[in-house]
Amino acid sequence: MEYAPSLLEPRRVSRSWHSALTTSLKLLPQNLLGFIEKVRTIGVTAVMSNYDKSKLCIFNLLNFFQFVTGMIVPVIGLLYANKIPYGGWLMATLPALVSLFVLLLNYRQKYNSAILVYFIFYPACICLSYMNGISLGVELSFLLYGILSVFFIQDIGYMVFSIFFSMVSYFVLSVLLKAYVYKLEDINYTVYLINEILAILYIFFGLYLIKKENTDYNTALQRTNLEVQEQSHRLQLQAAELNQLNSFKNKLFSIISHDLKAPLYGLCNLFDAMEKQNMPAREIKKLIPDIKNDLYYARGLMENLLQWAKSQMQADHVRPQEMDIKESIDGVLHVLHLQAAAKKIIIESKATDPLYVWADMDMINLVLRNLVSNAIKYTQPGGNISVGVCGQDSFAEIYVQDCGGGMTAEEIVKINGQQFYTTNGTAQEQGTGLGLMLCKEFLLKNGSNLRIESEPGVGSTFSFTLPLS
């Protein structure tokens, strides 16, 4: 083939054309990847599952690869028109056209038709080419069709037919029919080798895509299973919490219906007796200590119930702020000094200097009030109680220590458990166990917990820690 002399002479390329050529070469990989991505996602819709999307993308890539490689023989046929007849050349183009038609069906979202066309007409067209005496050198592809049919075809009958058809075709074309009139190997050995290598690469490419898809799918399944297990665990925890809240609710209604109204009835009965029976002051004075204890109990119970209701309405909403723990201790001791004075109990504050912590003030005040009130309840008349705070590097430890009767290890376990536990105080003061339940809940919301140290006959120490501000 002769070329014009001007085409063989060196030409000077302008800088603008050189710059445009350089830019085009730089953009070529990006454009190529963009084009492959468009081919890969042909027919993909948003309503498809991730598994179906992945299978369709693999199917598109396989057909595109077969279309590109399937055009090699027809191109060779055009160059060697005198060696391959027109009918044989037309037969050689059919497999590539089938792949193109499959991509068109996927584009029109006719996925089942595309699969049937691929697994029936593609092998059939190759068989027709071989039966017309043209050896394309792609017999190994039939082995992959059998594997791909297992992956893509869901219907068992179609899958078995596709495998059987592929294996029979491979046996007939590779073993029985060996005398071909037109062999690509004889026409152009280099192109024949390239075509064989591409057929092998196609097999490995298909197997790689299937393996990758199965691996990704198994990984996704494992991730989904973990999420389901976590969700199941959360549901179990929520169910346990609901049962606990239901038990808690029943206990509260029992307290409200019995314990809370008893002091009010006692006070009403006293006033009725004073009004109707004209009781002397001496008898009234004898009744006042019991009624006063009942009112102390009712006041503490009301405060705890209101705080619990408030915490439930606000859920997990905690308002931490900078607070002086010494000031909170002093405020609680001022509120409870009459209760302590009634039993001649001396409460000593060890908090001498301001110490600022970071916590919800209302919750911590309720914790301190309940702990000091319990210490008064279980301390013998004339006893001592110490309330103090110790500042460490990054936190403060607050403690309430009494010299009461102490507790056994079994009693501490009951208090730390998720149940109401209480005993009568040294002056037969009654309790519900709600106070300590609230203490544990509120401390937990503030990132702390209640620690109990006790020894029978010696006393108890309740403590917790809070971060320094």
How many angstroms separate the CA atoms of 199 and 192, rounded?
A: 11
Strands 459-467 and 395-402: antiparallel
Kindly list the domain boundaries of the chain, sorted by start residue: 18-228, 318-467
Instruction: Tell me if 70 sits within 8 A of 195, measured CB to CB.
Output: no
Q: Which tokens go with 406?
A: 């102490």
Residue 182 · residue 134 · CB < 8 Å: yes
Domain 318-467: give its CATH code.
3.30.565.10
DSSP-derived secondary structure letter, 468: B
What integer pLDDT is reported at residue 6 of this predicted model?
A: 40
For residue 271 the two structure tokens come to 């006033």
CA nearest neighbour of 166 among 155, 154, 181, 150: 150
**395 Cβ contact list (under 8 Å, min separation 6):** 357, 465, 466, 467, 468
**Number of neighbouring beta carbons within 10 Å of residue 126:** 25
Place of tokens 């152009």: 188
% of the chain at pLDDT higher than 70:
72
CB 94 within 8 A of CB 73: no
Taking 70 as the pLDDT cut, the residues of the chain under it are: 1-30, 73-74, 76-91, 130-140, 174-189, 191-192, 195, 248, 251-252, 254-262, 293, 297, 300-301, 304, 307-316, 418-421, 423-424, 427-428, 430-433
Q: Which residue(s) pair with 465 in the sheet? A: 397
Q: Is 454 helix (H, G, I), strand (E, B) or coil?
A: strand
Q: What does pTM read for this prediction?
A: 0.45
Contact 375, 332 (CB under 8 A): no
Give the residue ranges of DSSP H helices in 426-466.
434-445
- DSSP run (H or E) holding 346: strand 346-349
Contact, 370 vs 360, CB < 8 A?
Answer: no
C-alpha neighbours within 13 Å on the C-beta side of residue 189: 1
Count of residues in the chain: 469
